[in-house]
Structure 1
Amino acid sequence: MRPRETLTNSQDERLLPVRYACPDITRACDLAQAFADLVRHQRGYLLLEWVRQAEQDAPKPMRGFAGFLRQDLDAVTAGLTLRWSSGVVEGHVNRVKTLKRAMYGRASFELLRTRILAQS
């Protein structure tokens, strides 16, 4: 899913026959690269057009993904447009959940609390 211009010549040569052999893969790759570009460059204003294209002629899994995006289009557009992010908070939540899973059934709440605070 890297940008096409970052592929080496051998990677590009290996990808070309696959794209020729299966039009669905070609369309899925093109849409995925377009979506990655929207995310990388925060072009949320282009999301609705991407969703329409994906719903129109994409392979079934991509159409499903586009449908899920459409369900909460305003939030996804804001996430791809605004400079604010909850990424740091989500990272902390992930860290705490990982610790909880690792300690499940092994220790008390106090030990869990100590481990969480020690890693902060």
Structure 2
Amino acid sequence: MRADIPSPRKITGWIMSPRETLTDQQEERLLEVRLACPDITRACDLARAFTDLVRNRRGSFLLEWIRQAEQDAPKPMSGFAGFLRQDLDAVTAGLTLHWSSGVVEGHVNRVKTLKRAMYGRASFGLLRTRILTQP
């Protein structure tokens, strides 16, 4: 029955959620989908392996993951692996080192958002004041 087929969004949510957070019914449904489609099975395995690399800072295993993804993964995932290979040193450093530019990027995003919101409405002095006084 067509109504029993879960949506791609739902399947993706099950794949990307940690196993311990899935209900028994969700695990069962994901297993059914994996058995029905080998591409989803491979994508699920690779996605969970990549998540492990990111969460546990295992950048030293990235090249092996890329090789596996390029070898027999579904097209979108092998394409993603190819993009990672293009800047391998930076991605490996991001998955290995504890330093991050995330805080700086957050401030840049905040300033750009304020700038866009105030475009054409106020003077530079007011924009400067808002940037310096907002947390």
TM-score by length of structure 1 reads 0.92
- Give the partner amino acid of 2:78: R
RMSD: 1.3
Tell me the CA shift for residue 5 of structure 1: 3.0
Tell me the CA shift for residue 73 of structure 1: 0.5
For residues 60 and 80 of structure 1, what CA distance do their matches in structure 2 show? 23
Q: Are 1:92 and 2:100 counterparts? A: no
- Give the partner amino acid of 1:65: F
Q: 1:4 to 1:115 in 2, by over 3 A?
A: same
Identity value in percent: 85
Q: Which residue in the other structure is 2:42 paired with?
A: 27
Q: Are 1:16 and 2:35 counterparts? A: no
For residues 120 and 42 of structure 2, what CA distance do their matches in structure 1 show? 48
Tell me the CA shift for residue 105 of structure 1: 2.5
Tell me the CA shift for residue 24 of structure 1: 1.3
For residues 27 and 108 of structure 1, what CA distance do their matches in structure 2 show? 55
For residues 52 and 108 of structure 1, what CA distance do their matches in structure 2 show? 53
- Give the partner amino acid of 2:115: K
- Give the partner amino acid of 2:92: T
- Structure 1 unpaired stretches of 5+: none
Tell me the CA shift for residue 107 of structure 1: 2.0
Q: Which residue in the other structure is 2:70 paired with?
A: 55
- Structure 2 unpaired stretches of 5+: 1-15
For residues 80 and 35 of structure 2, what CA distance do their matches in structure 1 show? 24
